[in-house]
Amino acid sequence: MSSHPPKILVVDDKQMMRDSVGAILQRAGYAIVVAHHGKAALGMVAKHRPAAVITDLKMPEMDGLELLAELKRADDQLPVVLMTAYGSINDAVAAMKHGAFDFVQKPFEGEQLVMVIRRAVEHRQLVNENAVLKSNARNLEEAPSLVGHSPAMRRVAQQIHQIGGSHGTVMISGESGTGKEVVARTLHAHSPRRERVMLCLNCAALSANLLESELFGHEKGAFTGADALRKGRFELADGGTLLLDEISEIDPKLQAKLLRVLQEGQFERVGSSVSQTVDVRVIATTNRDLTRSVAAGEFRQDLYYRLNVLPIHLPPMRERVEDIPLLVEHFLQKVALREGRDPKRFDDESIALMQAYAWPGNVRELQNICERASVLCRGNIIKAGLIQPWLMGLEALPPAPRPAGEAGGPPPQLPPITVGGMTRADAVSSVKPLEEVEREQIIRALGHFGGNRQKTAEALGIGVRTLGLKLKKWKEQNLVAQSI
């Protein structure tokens, strides 16, 4: 990705040797950084991230073998070449067994030195390329695709076209299930970093301590259970893209450390005082209004501005219902390809029913409906009668369990929501705002399941976190009871 020449770190306690080796490698087209002893070299590696290291074997304070051990502990893929004097060949062979890439014996010819370093750099490049290919195979199993021709999605596509070629930080906002990760992957696929790795991390899924380790890595012994050195996502994504999902959930103590990476490209592993330098494009996503979090003191204002350099907002499904025919065709094709059969299709009444629905779970909920219908439909045409109970699936909820010890008849059932000649969504939206309908149905489902959020979310086809965020917002607005 970069046009800069590979950096080589030259380590020797004698300035004449450092100058000589450096001059030879500079003439061969390499950039040179130097260190006069092993301890200084460790800091130079963290700061400059060289493609290879060439070090003298015999040095005071920390010799070449000790330096090799420390370098391999920090990065076992970094090629280390040893320079040995006559009579030290046995030490050089021992070093090869401990992970040295190669050695050259003094006095050596310039061409010999250049040939060894060239092989070391090529080895490093092959290792990096292999890691990228493996990561892309894991993370990009499907080519990212945006489906839709609505005005809202055309605006998003235009923003991606404008932003894709930049290295700037991107903030993607939108409700849960709107496709923020798809947009992030599309941005990466259209960026100058597309040949490099893209890594993802859900900031809401980990505790503050685990999240810090995942982001920045840790040294061996940094905390209980840290049995080995571990590289963090920033270090692993160097040269590529890092997607920070649900950035609003990052612990305030970590926000300052994240701000420093965005401003300076530097961080320290947990348990280390050595700064690492990285070049990572950050894409952050949030389903919350971060300006409110900033006003409430929950999110740093300076970090917000660092993240919100290039904003993209994804519309909810209810604001792009004209995209539903294209989306359902796309999802049904995917299911058919996976199952090895011809795709099914929705009839016109089903499409109309879906276009009238509020979609609190957004595109993710629509995909869920399409996959379920494709599997459960007995024919090739999916009719409205099949999917109607699933749209905020209250008619299809399982019976609520009876309290322990209760005897008698069957447990009470939820009364069905009558449609009365119109789709249910049409009937309610004709007299109430969609959010009010959604709120009433969620409260009804919570009551049915005795307040169990996990069961409620599963029945409604939305995430538990999405449910929790909605309830929190409604409590703040005094629209639902605080005891829910």
Considering only residues 121 and 128, tell me which one the structure prediction assigns the higher pLDDT.
121
Least confident of 85-94, 316-325, 337-346: 85-94
The answer to whether 318-390 and 424-476 have equal CATH topology is: no
* The pLDDT value given to residue 206: 83
* The pLDDT value given to residue 290: 92
Q: How far apart, in whole angstroms, are the C-alpha atoms of residue 18 and residue 293?
A: 53
User: CATH code for 318-390?
Assistant: 1.10.8.60
Least confident of 74-78, 370-374, 409-413: 409-413
Q: CA angle at residue 387 from 386 to 392, to 5 degrees? A: 140
Confidence grade of residue 105 (pLDDT, cut at 50, 70, 90): confident
Specify which of 38-42, 73-77, 152-156, 193-197 reaches the highest per-range mean pLDDT: 152-156
Amino acid 280 reads V
Least confident of 11-15, 178-182, 400-404, 411-415: 411-415
Which stretches does DSSP call E strand in 108-248?
Answer: 170-173, 198-202, 241-245
Do 193 and 1 touch, CB atoms closer than 8 A?
yes
Architecture of the domain defined by 7-136: 3-Layer(aba) Sandwich (3.40)
Q: How far apart, in whole angstroms, are the C-alpha atoms of residue 320 and residue 149?
A: 9
Residue 420 has pLDDT above 50, yes or no: no
- The CATH homologous superfamily for domain 155-315 is P-loop containing nucleotide triphosphate hydrolases (3.40.50.300)
Do 437 and 429 touch, CB atoms closer than 8 A?
yes
Residue 458 has pLDDT above 80, yes or no: no
Residue 133 has pLDDT above 90, yes or no: no
Phi, psi dihedrals of residue 365, rounded to the nearest 5°? -70, -40
Residue 272 has pLDDT above 50, yes or no: yes
* The pLDDT value given to residue 315: 94
* The pLDDT value given to residue 402: 42
Residue 274 has pLDDT above 70, yes or no: yes
Query: What is the tens place of the pLDDT at every residue in 370-385?
Result: 999 998 998 999 999 8
* The pLDDT value given to residue 454: 84
Query: What is the tens place of the pLDDT at every residue in 37-71?
Result: 888 898 888 888 899 999 998 888 888 888 998 88
For the chain, give every domain's residue range: 7-136, 155-315, 318-390, 424-476
Residue 169 has pLDDT above 90, yes or no: yes
Confidence grade of residue 479 (pLDDT, cut at 50, 70, 90): confident
Mean pLDDT in the chain? 83
Residue 440 has pLDDT above 90, yes or no: no
With respect to CATH, is domain 424-476 assigned 3.60.10.10?
no
Q: How far apart, in whole angstroms, are the C-alpha atoms of residue 70 and residue 47?
A: 15
- Across the range 268-284, mean pLDDT stands at 92
- Across the range 445-456, mean pLDDT stands at 82
- Across the range 274-296, mean pLDDT stands at 93
User: DSSP letter at 411?
Assistant: P
* The pLDDT value given to residue 38: 86
Q: How many other β-carbons are positioned within 10 Å of the β-carbon of residue 416?
A: 11
- Which residues touch 312 (CB under 8 Å, ≥6 apart)? 156, 159, 160, 163, 170, 171, 172, 173, 183
Query: What is the tens place of the pLDDT at every residue in 216-262?
Result: 999 888 887 777 788 899 999 999 999 999 999 898 889 999 999 99
* The pLDDT value given to residue 426: 45
- Longest distance between any two alpha carbons in the chain, whole Å: 96
Q: How many other β-carbons are positioned within 10 Å of the β-carbon of residue 95?
A: 24
